[in-house]
Amino acid sequence: MHSGPNHPPPPPYVMLQDQGAPGHYPGPHGRNPPRFNGQYRPNGRRKNTCLRCYCCFYCCFFITLVVIIAALVISFIIINPHVPEYKINDFSVKAFNLTPDLNLHAHFVITVKAENPNKQISIIYGKGSSVTLLYSGMKLCSGKVPDFTQPTKNTTMMNVDLKGDLKGSDFGGSLGESLMEKMKSDRIPLTVAVRVPVNVAMGKMHVLKDPMGIYVNCSMVVNNLSQPDKKVGISDKKYDIDFSYKFKH
């Protein structure tokens, strides 16, 4: 039956009879039961929302990771870093007095050649370095590398003083006699161990928070230790270079 101009529209709901009326029982929601359409699925909507959140999170994470990797690769290509090179260029004897009772006074000067081939990276040599001259693992004398900043595309010659005094009791076992025998043969095997803390800089900005470590071991054979101010011949040089992300004291 259609509602005309003189007939009010039907009510949006129908009043149920009282609970006490026979034959009529309200449902579990009382007189106002909820009305759902056929497409309402609360659990499905919640699952779809969570899935969208996960997808957005992983997409953002993946895009950020790709951008960071791309920036690092581009920076590496532009900067084009190279490992610095180190060599023992000269070795001179200022004093080397080894007495029959194995008391030793030694003073050497070695020249370390440090080459920085980088165009945009300067190298900062910090405090706490050490240069040690060893014979069969025993320290004869020591010194240190001066702290300075090496500019880009630069080669620097560093003169390092090595001084040491040993007593006969410092020579373990037969090392003293072995050293004297090697001196007579004019073939004395020695090792120069260099340990340097360095930082790198681009312009005025230090790249590293803590200095990294550069460790250079140069094994060589010299032909003279007992004649001061005479040029020492060096042969059989072998280098072992290592790095660490943090300098080990």
Q: How many structural domains does the chain have? A: 2
Taking residues 76-80, what's their average pLDDT?
63
* Residue 161: inside a domain: yes
Q: Backbone phi, then psi, for 42, in 5-degree steps?
A: -60, -40
Question: Global pTM?
Answer: 0.68
Mean residue pLDDT across the chain: 81
Least confident range from 44-48, 60-64, 90-94: namely 44-48
139 and 239 together in one domain:
yes
83's enclosing H/E stretch is: none
User: Mind giving me the DSSP string for 63-92?
Assistant: HHHHHHHHHHHHHHHHH-----EEEEEEEE
Strand pairing class (130-135; 148-150):
unpaired
**Residue whose token pair is 């006969």:** 168
pLDDT of residue 180: 85
136 and 154 together in one domain:
yes
Which range has the top average pLDDT, 3-7, 47-51, 242-246? 242-246
Q: How many residues does the chain have?
A: 249
Residue 114's Cα: distance from chain center in Å? Answer: 21
How far apart CA 206 and CA 248 sit, in angstroms, is 19
64 and 162 together in one domain:
no
How far apart CA 87 and CA 110 sit, in angstroms, is 10
Q: Band of the pLDDT at 199, cuts 50, 70, 90?
A: very high
* Residue 21: inside a domain: no
163 and 199 together in one domain:
yes
pLDDT over threshold 80, residue 231: no
pLDDT of residue 226: 78
Q: For residue 117, what are its two tokens?
A: 């081939």
